[in-house]
Structures are given as C-alpha cells and as structure tokens.
Amino acid sequence: MGKLVSTLFVSLDGVYQAPGGPEEDPRGGFTQGGWTFPFGDEDFGGFITGLFGRASGFLLGRRTYDIFAGYWPKVTDPANPVAAPLNSLPKYVVSSTLRSADWSGTTVLGGDVGKEVAALKERTDGELQIHGSGALVRTLIELRLLDTLHLLTFPVVLGSGFRLFPEGTTPTRFRHTAGLVSSTGVSLQSYDLAGEPEFGSFGPPEDQ
C-alpha cells in the first residue's frame, strides 16, 4: 500500500494561495502571488529535491493540476529534479468537471473521492504525493486518508487569501516526525496524522 503525502506552503497567517507567482491563482482579487520567492535557499531547495525524489506518483486537485500542466511539461531537462518526476510518473487529478487530461500520464478521478483515493493507495507502492491542492487535502484529512503532511511555513503575513485550515475544518491531531528551519527562516515541518484531538486542563489540582 502506498503512503499519501501532502506538501503545502503557508504564510504565518495560514494563507496557501498562489505561493509560486503573481498570476498563479488570483481568485478573490488576490494580488500577492509569488510570496515564497524571496525565501528560496539551499535548505529549501534540498528539501524539495529530496521530496520529489521519493515520489511514485502525484495526486492533484483541479486548480493545482491546471497550474502544473501549464508549466512543467515545457521543462524538458531530464536532470531537473522536479520536472523529471512530474513529467514521467503517473498523475491523478480529482475533478468532477474535467473529462480528459492532455498532460501525458494523467488519469482523471471523477467519482467518489474517498473510494477512488483509497483504491489508488492500495495499488500504489511508495509515496503518492499531493502538492498544493488545499481543498483536496482538507477532504482527505476529513476522510482520514492522508498519512503525512509536510507544512512549510514562510515568515510573512499576507492578511488575505485562502487559508489552509479555515473555520469548520475537521478537528485532527498530528504527530511531529521531523523538522528544520532554513537559513531564510522557513519552518519545514513534517507531521503524521494521529487521529482525533486530545484535551486536558492545566488548572490547579483538586485539594487532597
């Protein structure tokens, strides 16, 4: 069985919209796209290179798929550590509106998300990776299908944009498994899903 692994970039105030460029995702009038660019360094690059090197396939939401499909097929260098796996490995896009996909190696999953992704995990060896696709990630967390979340938090507050975990997100507990902070202050942390939240109190003990 494969492992379903998500990687997401967020600001300090939880925004994940359009991290890669100004035109990437302007929904809602968002004008701050490309906010991760100033923070690239060797630590960040090494993390991303290692991540893509472990991929066995990719699962993407419709919007992220459109963004990736518009860019990565044009990067044809076989030594590119991101483009090479993206262009050569199987890709699956979750969409109820997309009927066919032009990017080579892409399959559209248009049925029951839970059943289709669970079946996909069963027949995948290694890491099935999700990049971006915040709404899809929330659904997979709710369905308890996600195994690992790599959360890369950038030292910037954006003040607007789509939040990764808005009000109403399914309560979930995570277990920290690894982490580092890059030279530019990006917090690269890895978590495994650990079920339901646990609660307690730091109040004073009862009198004996």
CATH code of the domain in which 105 resides: 3.40.430.10
> In the predicted model, what is the mean pLDDT of residues 42-46?
94
Cα(26)–Cα(6) distance, integer angstroms? 23
Does some domain include residue 58? yes
Average pLDDT, the chain: 94
Does some domain include residue 145? no
Does some domain include residue 196? no
Cα(13)–Cα(162) distance, integer angstroms? 10
Do residues 181 and 39 touch, judged by C-beta distance below 8 A?
no
Tokens of 178: 């690894």
Does some domain include residue 179? no
Rounded to 5°, angle at Cα 17 from 110 and 166: 80
Does some domain include residue 205? no
pLDDT at 132 exceeding the cut of 60: yes
pLDDT (tens digit, 9 = 90+) per residue, 3-23?
999 999 999 999 999 999 998
Number of domains in the chain: 1
In this prediction, residue 30 carries a pLDDT of 95
In this prediction, residue 195 carries a pLDDT of 94
Cα(67)–Cα(64) distance, integer angstroms? 5
Does some domain include residue 101? yes
Does some domain include residue 148? no
Domain of residue 90 covers 3-21+44-139
Does some domain include residue 102? yes
Backbone torsions φ then ψ of 108, nearest 5 degrees: -90, 130
